[in-house]
Amino acid sequence: MLIGEAWAQSAAPVQSAPGFDFMTFMPLVFLMVVFYFILIRPQMKRTREHKAMLDALQKGDEIVAAGGLVGRVTKLDENYITMQVASNVELRVQRSSLQLVLPKGTIKNIE
């Protein structure tokens, strides 16, 4: 009375063993391509440009270091740059902290 009749379901069609379906991986492949072109590739380009800027650095160049320090390069080491920020004031900063090389003549009041 309380339980209705149970009807048997038809058997599910027999399928062959699941094979490799490329379409199931398409969203993942698409996502990887998007990440490459939006995140990875531009970052690699910026890194290359920064390295080229550091390699081309010479004594007398006017630079901006991290934190906005502006000065003129007086000495170059492999890992450090000594920059003059005012007359008789020199600071030693890491090469990697260099942000920008300014055009010649930008800094007027150092000496």
SS (H, E, C) the chain: CCCCCCCCCCCCCCCCCCCCCHHHCHHHHHHHHHHHHHHHHHHHHHHHHHHHHHHCCCCCCEEEEHHHCEEEEEEECCCEEEEEEECCEEEEEEHHHEEEEECCCCCCCCC
Q: What is the pLDDT of residue 24?
A: 83
pTM over 0.85: no
Q: How confident is the model at residue 49 (pLDDT cuts 50, 70, 90)?
A: very high
Q: What is the pLDDT of residue 93?
A: 95
Q: What pLDDT score does 95 carry?
A: 93
Residue among 63, 99, 56, 98 at smallest CA distance from 84: 63
In Å, what is the CA distance from 30 to each residue of 23, 25, 41, 43, 44?
11, 9, 15, 19, 20
- The more confidently predicted of residues 101 and 109 is 101
52-96: pLDDT as tens digits:
999 999 999 999 999 999 999 999 999 999 999 998 999 999 999
Identify the pLDDT of residue 14.
60
User: Assign residue 39 a region: left if phi > 0, alpha if psi is -120 to 50, beta otherwise?
Assistant: alpha
pLDDT of residue 75: 95
